[in-house]
Structure 1
Amino acid sequence: MEEKKFYVYILSNKYNNVLYVGITNDLKRRIYEHKNKFIDGFTKKYNVNKLVYYEIYNDPINAITREKQLKDFRREKKVRLITEFNPNWEDLYQKIL
């Protein structure tokens, strides 16, 4: 039996001036939903659909804790985290497919 994974992710828009932190148990599906604007709300309104950062967890409690931590980060700290992980702020969606 395959172990369940949980993902904490950060999306941006094409200008990299909007950031969104989310959590999911299926990163491919969730990013697809954001890209195709299936989900009403912040990401649809501000066209935030570029995957720039993600972390993988085996435990949902740890993933939820990390999501809350990232949401509390100041923008500068999120930018630093993304830049260390993804220096060119590329859309990582194709790499996770």
Structure 2
Amino acid sequence: MEGKQQFVYILTNTNRQNFKIGLTDDLSYTVQYYKQRQAQSINKHQDAARLVYFEEISQDRALSRLCEIDAYTRSQKERLIRRDNTNWIDLSLRLDMHRLSNTYRKLNVAS
């Protein structure tokens, strides 16, 4: 039986020096957490808070995929990011729009 969906993600800082690879079941919440943490940090340029890569994956494969990506070299991680996000844009902006769109649909259905 397939479980709940998970997200494997990569966050980076503004100058792309640091990577944070993680696993979550609520990507919007996790990204928001790191963005708030960055806003409160003294070293804003070093804190990874820009979502540059994510993939949705089944719970039974999520941990192995996380370990796989975590073991990649820096250049392999960069290739993975560039495959889907050539300009390294912050994908959390799309997540916010998707969440707002879903909330709007739910409100209209309830009305």
Which category describes the TM-score, using the shorter chain as reference length? 0.7 to 0.9
Question: CA contact under 8 A between 2:18 and 2:47: conserved in structure 1?
Answer: no
C-alpha displacement of 1:18: 1.0
Write the mapping of 1:77-88 to structure 2, written as runs, cut at 5 A.
77-88=76-87
Name the SS for the 1:23 alignment partner: strand
TM-fit CA distance, 1:61: 2.4
Measure, in 1, the Cα distance between the counterparts of 2:92 and 2:77: 19
When the two structures are superposed, what TM-score results if normalisation uses the length of structure 1?
0.85
> Could you list the runs of 4 or more consecutive aligned residues of structure 1 that deviate by over 2 angstroms after TM superposition?
none
Q: How far, CA to CA, are the matches of 1:48 and 1:61 in structure 2?
A: 27
Q: TM-score, normalised by structure 2?
A: 0.74
* AA matched with 1:71: D
Q: Indicate the residue corresponding to 2:21 in structure 1.
A: 21
Calculate the aligned-residue CA RMSD, in Å. Answer: 1.9
Measure, in 2, the Cα distance between the counterparts of 1:46 and 1:20.
11
Cα offset, 1:65, TM superposition: 0.6
Question: Aligned to 1:90, what secondary structure does the other structure show?
Answer: coil
Q: CA deviation at 1:87?
A: 0.2
Q: If you compute each CA radius of gyration, which structure gives the higher value, 1 or 2?
A: 2
C-alpha deviations, 1:23-73, integer Å up to 9, x for none? 0000000000010018xxxxx89311000000001x222011100000000
Distance 2:88 2:82 in 1: 7
Q: As a proportion of its length, which structure holds more helix? A: 2
Q: Is the 8 A contact 2:9 2:55 kept in 1?
A: yes
Secondary structure of 1:30's aligned partner = helix
CA distance in 1: counterparts of 2:45 and 2:25, whole angstroms? 23
Q: Distance in 1 between matches of 2:7 and 2:30?
A: 10
Gaps of 5+ in 1: 39-43
Number of residue pairs the alignment of both structures matches: 89
- What's the % identity of the aligned pairs? 31
Go from structure 1 to structure 2 and tell me whether the alpha carbon gap of 1:68 and 1:86 turns closer, same or farther (over 3 Å shift): same
